[in-house]
Structure 1
Amino acid sequence: MTQAIRTPSPEAANSTVATDYLVSMSQPGSHLFEVRLQISRPNLAGPIVDSGVIDLKMPVWTPGSYMVREYARHLQDFRVCDRHGKSLSWSKVSKNTWRLQAGESDSLIVHYRIYANELTVRTNHLDSTHGYFNGAALFFYVPGWENLPIRVAIAPPKGWWVTTSLPSVSGVENTFEAADFDTLVDSPFEIGTHQVYDFEAAGKPHQLAIWGQGNGDVDRLITDCRKIIHEVSNLFSGLPYDRYVFLLHLSSQGYGGLEHKNSCSLNYPRLGLRDRDKYNRFMQLVAHEFFHLWNVKRLRPKELEVFNYEQECYTTSLWFCEGATSYYDGWIIYRAGIVEVKDFLNGLSKDISRFLNSPGRFVQPLGESSWDAWIKLYRRDAYSDNNQISYYLKGELVSLMLELLIRNRHGNRRSLDDVMVLMWEKFGKSEKGYTAAELQSAIASVAEMDLDDFFNRYLHGTEELPLNDYLQPFGLVIKPQNNDIVPDLGWRLAAENGKTIVKFVEAGSPAQLAGIDAEDELLAINGFRVSVENISDRLLDFQPGEQVNISFFHQDELRTSEAILRAPRPSAYKITSVEEPTPEQQRNFEGWLGCPYHKL
């Protein structure tokens, strides 16, 4: 049975523990976490302590999710008193900074509440079934005290329990200690009646905590998680943690993951764990977040070596942090035996199809995509596909090209694995941030070739990726899969409430030249009603180069415009076998994929 909890007193706490939190949730249905922060002056000298003024700052973003989210917007009911209950003055001096007039008080008590009703891996969620929070979205830090230990006590409703990767404080129930603020931010909490499964992998203890009902087989999930752990542990010659926690939220339609040093948060559709393809997609998500233990949590760009929680941290290297990890997530579950070779190549084919149907690849360089993550990737609109490319997606394919380049050049005796291990040894183990130049140098040293031209073309430029040139030595080729004969207008349509709505218009396409915008309602072609269901059949009546009249509503105004149809465009591509593979191609295929060459 859960007992009442109180925040440890300053006398009971370690002398360097300056901040103690108590997180309560007396009315979970209100979606309000109740937070009590006790600030005790540490045994340190300096202006922060001596001035009688203490600033509290709330982060504006959280590592791994590169967008300013303004977590302070969810805070309410802020008040401050001394240890005797006397109210103290405070003022808000910026959007995320509260200034406390501490005077001679040796201990301050801050009360506030946080609204939590957004179920994602990077925010907070509290309802009648559970509580989940990320440190950046719930806790303050005192500038200058970021490296001091922090204690967090949880007062859960009766019958609820707590799961987190933070170590517990001996002898104090539901109380945990973080070595510093970075560690606190990096340690999400799950509080409720979730199921917790303990298992061992690669000689270390692990937990799988599941909130929500779903159709997954827990034994199968744990077995495959264990395979992933062993595969990545073998790559890096061991695990960099003492204990690891998988936090899984099974929701109606959610999807996402966020990496942490000793845990990860996962959100997946509750009924998506039985279908083979959906299950494989989930295991790929698990592999992605687990691989981040090395690539980005410990091995990270110089710009992310020290986190600035108040503003954007710009880097051109997210293509490697996220893109290389996106390549490895599919590669790992194949190497671990969770999927077959056709599944791995089909997954790459789907990503190639997305890439080749993204006109923004000719506009935004990969390095710029990484740099502009803060203002573009997480803030997509109807025009985004025209002027940006995901550093996840293009980074994955550039990583694939580097993998094949290295393997082909060295007869499969070297690979991208060697790059990852080299970077880990040089930068990851010590958590020393690397520069973009150092990353390129490491890849070039493994490849044993100058990569300036490669990086200028495919990282800093917008040339088409010559994927077939890199696949061909392995007996593979990319081919369009649909022999579409329907003339194209360069739009995407969707049915909404019985209407046919234009959702995307490609730049320079016949639809754009005709004055059609996203969110216009399509009505007719040459005077006859069309819909999502019959538009293809209607366009089959025409040939590329013919003119058609398109009737549509634009902001409720009826318009009719002329458009010249263009030739059909492939919507899907597939990696398949070359017609007549040479013995060398077959050997390369077998050396890369670890199985005999066969027709795909």
Structure 2
Amino acid sequence: MNIKKSILGIVVLLSITMAAKSQVKIGFEVSFKEPQAHYAEVEMNISGIATKTHVDVKMPVWTPGSYLVREFAKSVESFGATSNGKAVKVEKVNKNTWRVFNAKTNAVKINYRVYAFEISVRTAFIDASHAFLSPASIFMYPAGMIKTPSTVKIVPFTGWDKVSTGLEPIAGQKFTYTASDFDILFDSPMEVGTQDIFEFNAAGVRHEVAMYGGGNYDKERLKVDMAKIVEQETAIFGENPNKHYTFIVHNYAQGGGGLEHLNSTVLGASRNAYSSERGYQGFLGLVAHEYFHLWNVKRLRPIALGPFDYDNENYTTNLWIAEGFTSYYPIKVMLRAGFTNPEGFVNSNLGTIGTVMNTPGSKINSAAESSFNAWINPAYRPSENGNNTFISYYTKGQVIGNLMDLEIINATKGAKSLDDVMKAMYLQCKTLKRGYTDAEFKAMVEKISGISFTSFWDKYVTGTVPVEYAKYFAYAGIDVVNENEGKSVPFFGASTGRMAGVSGGKVIIGSVSRSSGAWNGGVNVNDEIVSIDDVPAEASIERMAVITNKKVGDVVKVSIIRDGLKKDLNVILTTNEIVRFKAALNESATPQQLVVRKKWMGI
């Protein structure tokens, strides 16, 4: 065999293949013929197709940042295609793939409609007032061409005059944008309508804020305060990787939540909450959380989260870092930016520790397991038994971040903190052009701290050991006690909801806590509680006198109705093990503890 000729042949073949791919052009046009009925009309043009038989186009089944298979293809209808002006055969080959037979031509035009009527930061929503396009639920991609560039032209409905997005605009073409590949396109939401837009500059970056839905926000105040958050977070990593950034804010009567993107975010807010201190602080905290994702997740990311598989779940055991640390850092940033005080900072962190310790699922579900099982977690698929089987990687990860921060600061006598780990891992991902493994993250923590974190990992990352809160807060000269420790308070162990409208309302069981009296006594979710020891039931069962006047170990008779049949159950009251923390600054704190405290709080 002539090796030189073989190598030359491979090079020529690769060159031809790359040239064929480079000739492919993909363009979208999105219009709104019936926005009041919640539809987007999508036209997709593909030219330069190498194969002359067919091309497969696919709709993602999920959107990055929201770990649930949402089956976006379910909202697609009227799919059809033409080539050279003539209709061509199309065939659906699986749940999210359409095959277009291109009749030996190299170009096809595809048209389809998308129904968009789910209000959230991660799903498309269209009505007569605006269109929010969550790209993974709007745009299809040709199979095998994720890395192909595309253009998007938006044709706003009558009366709409603005488009807000992180995509790069094409000069001279109104409302037309370009994406270097489909990962970028799917990571660039679009707000189309008459949104109120204002801008501010921070960390050398232009920021656009697009407000939909009105509200009592103060633009000038937001410009100043949002800039403070941007500056504080940029300082942690040493650089801001964007030239421009877009906040899309949806203001509803009751709104919340956020979803991060590469150079933008979508936030849900309550339109009339900005005037209250609590509401305003809540919004700034949400800004801090989603903006921190600009680094943590979007660039400093677990290795499994990119390149993405848009057909299937993408599993990682590291969402406790990706989301949990991003829940921890806003508390630090809000303190450093002057929006809260040290007392609020301490109590916020302790509150999250309490949430973890008071969740029965924390005793059987580790942070790593919770991350891996994100795709079936009760946060996205509510379950009446979720608290007994699952702990949120947000809350457990926030606690781990807190403990790890204090451990690093204490070990280095205030020279280093978790900030140094985050910056170093960000630069490592940037240099290697890939995400990190769990082992690499642990190795960096140990390098920065100078101590082993194997025991820490075994306890808190892969294990379910109760949080040693007193030990870690003592590093910073903060005394923490559980006010319920040692108390013998009777506990029924079931929470209730009230079904209004039937004889003044029925007391219905909503959840039962693992190993409680209700659990052991056979009380079920959806049981109607008629009475306890012949006393008519109240919505707050734990506060009923018939419970509070008993002792641990006492038996109460619980009369229920289940499936239309009355039953009597005997419930033995257990001990209430709910923790309730109280913290105090140690007036006799050592110099080392004061150093740790100052470094931890950053003020």
Q: CA–CA distance in 2 between the matches of 1:488 and 1:65?
A: 36
* Whole-angstrom CA distance in 1 between matches of 2:511 and 2:448: 42
The CA distance in 2 between the partners of 1:77 and 1:395, in whole Å, is 44
Give the structure-1-normalised TM-score.
Answer: 0.92
> Of 418, 421, 438, which aligns to 1:419?
421
Range moving further from structure 2, 70-79 or 581-590: 581-590
Aligned pairs (5 A) from 1:12-411 = 16=23, 18-41=25-48, 49-84=50-85, 86-160=86-160, 161-376=162-377, 377-411=379-413
Q: Which moved more, 1:307-316 or 1:476-485?
A: 476-485
* Residue identity matched to 1:570: I
Change (3 A) 1:93 1:431: same
8 Å contact 2:409–2:417 — kept in the other structure? yes
Residue equivalent to 1:458: 460
Q: How does 1:529-544 map to 2 (within 5 A)?
A: 529-532=536-539, 535-544=543-552
Partner of 1:7: none
Distance of 1:189 and 1:305 partners within structure 2: 22
SS at match of 1:397: helix
The one-letter code matched in structure 1 to 2:80 is R
1:528 aligned to 513, 529, 535, which one? 535
CA offsets per residue over residues 496-548 of structure 1, 9 Å max, x none? 31222211101111001111112222111111102125743332232222111
> In the TM superposition, what is the alpha-carbon distance from 1:106 to its structure 2 partner?
2.8
Residue 485 of structure 1: CA displacement?
Answer: 7.6
Deviation at 1:587, TM superposition (A): 3.7
Distance 1:566 1:480, change over 3 A: same
Q: Quick check: 1:519 aligned with 2:519?
A: no
SS in 2 for 1:465: coil
**Contact 1:299–1:433 (CA under 8 A) maintained in structure 2:** yes
Superposition map of 1:438-477 within 5 A: 438-477=440-479
Q: Secondary structure at the match of 1:92?
A: strand
Task: Tell whether the 8 Å contact from 1:17 to 1:150 is kept in structure 2 after alignment.
Answer: no
* In 1, Cα distance between equivalents of 2:572 and 2:578: 18
Q: 1:221/1:176 Cα in 2 relative to 1: closer, same or farther (>3 Å)?
A: same
How far apart, CA to CA, are the structure 1 residues paired with 2:279 and 2:582? 19
* Equivalent residue number for residue 15 of structure 2: none
- Indicate if the aligned counterparts of 2:478 and 2:586 stay in contact, CA closer than 8 A: yes
Shift of the alpha carbon at 1:104? 1.8
Structure 1 SS opposite 2:265: strand
Deviation at 1:350, TM superposition (A): 2.3
Distance 1:89 1:481 in 2: 71
Out of 413, 433, 452, the residue aligned to residue 435 of structure 2 is: 433
Change (3 A) 1:176 1:276: same
8 Å contact kept, 1:52–1:102:
yes
Inter-partner Cα distance in structure 1 for 2:117 and 2:583: 42
Cα 1:29–1:578, aligned 2, differ >3 Å: closer, same or farther? same
Counterpart Cα distance in 1 of 2:41 and 2:585: 60
Q: Is it true that 1:495 corresponds to 2:502 in the alignment? A: no
Q: Partner residue of 2:16?
A: none
- Cα distance in 2 for residues equivalent to 1:493 and 1:580: 45
Distance 2:395 2:540 in 1: 30
- CA deviation string 1:432-491 (max 9, x = no partner): 111111111111111111212211221111111212211112122333457988521111
State the alpha-carbon separation in 1 of the partners of residues 489 and 225 from structure 2. Answer: 43
Q: Are 2:496 and 2:540, in contact at CA under 8 Å, matched by a contact in 1?
A: no
What SS does structure 2 have at the residue aligned with 1:302? Answer: coil
Q: 2:463 and 2:235 mapped to 1: Cα distance? A: 35
Q: Say whether the 8 Å CA contact 1:89–1:100 is kept in structure 2.
A: yes
Give, as a single letter, the amino acid of the residue that structure 2 aligns with 1:60.
V
Q: CA deviation at 1:574?
A: 4.1
* Contact residue 16 and residue 148 of structure 1 kept, 8 A: no
Tell me, in whole angstroms, the C-alpha distance in 1 between the residues paired with 2:435 and 2:481. 40
Query: Contact 1:302–1:434 at 8 Å: present in 2 too?
Result: yes
Letter in 1 for 2:401: S
Tell me the SS of whatever aligns to 1:304.
coil
Tell me the SS of whatever aligns to 1:157.
coil
State how far apart, in whole Å, the 1-side matches of 2:525 and 2:433 are: 45
Letter in 1 for 2:553: G
CA offset digits 1:529-581 (Å, max 9, x no partner): 02125743332232222111011122232111011112334364344334753
Return closer, same or farther for 1:404/1:282 CA change in 2, 3 Å cut-off. Answer: same
Deviation above 6 Å: which 4+ runs of structure 1?
482-485
* Cα distance in 2 between the residues matched to 1:594 and 1:370: 29
Contact 1:530 1:538 in 2 (8 A): no
Question: Is the CA contact (8 Å cut-off) linking 2:52 and 2:105 kept in structure 1?
Answer: no
Q: Is the 8 A contact 2:83 2:103 kept in 1?
A: no
Residue by residue over 1:341-372, the C-alpha shift from the partner in whole angstroms, topping out at 9 and shown as x without a partner, is 22222221321221121010111111111111
CA contact (8 A) 1:294 1:428 kept: no
Please report how far the alpha carbon of residue 393 of structure 1 lies from its aligned counterpart in structure 2 after TM superposition.
Answer: 0.6
1:195-220 Cα shifts (integer Å, max 9, x gaps): 00022112221101000122222222
Deviation of 1:191 after TM superposition, in Å, equals: 0.4
Contact 1:89–1:101 (CA under 8 A) maintained in structure 2: yes
Return the match for 2:568 from 560, 563, 577: 560
Question: Helix, strand or coil: the match of 1:474?
Answer: coil
**CA displacement 1:55-98 (0-9 Å, x = unmatched):** 001100111111111010111111111132x1100111110000
Higher mean displacement: 219-228 or 92-101: 219-228
8 A Cα contact 1:78 1:112, kept in partner: yes
Gaps of 5+ in 2: 1-20
Q: Distance in 1 between matches of 2:106 and 2:73?
A: 26
Where do 1:561-600 residues align within 5 Å?
Answer: 561-570=569-578, 572-578=580-586, 580-594=588-602
In the alignment, the residues of structure 2 paired with residue 191 and residue 337 of structure 1 have an alpha-carbon distance, to the nearest angstrom, of: 34
RMSD: 1.9
Corresponding letter in the other structure for 1:576: A
* Alpha-carbon separation, structure 1, partners of 2:600 and 2:165: 38
- Aligned mates of 1:362, 1:434 — CA distance in 2: 28
Q: Name the residue aligned to 2:14.
A: none
Q: 1:486 to 1:463 in 2, by over 3 A?
A: closer
* Stretch moving more, 58-67 or 99-108: 99-108
Distance 1:594 1:180, change over 3 A: closer
Unaligned runs of 5+ in 1: 1-13, 43-48, 596-600
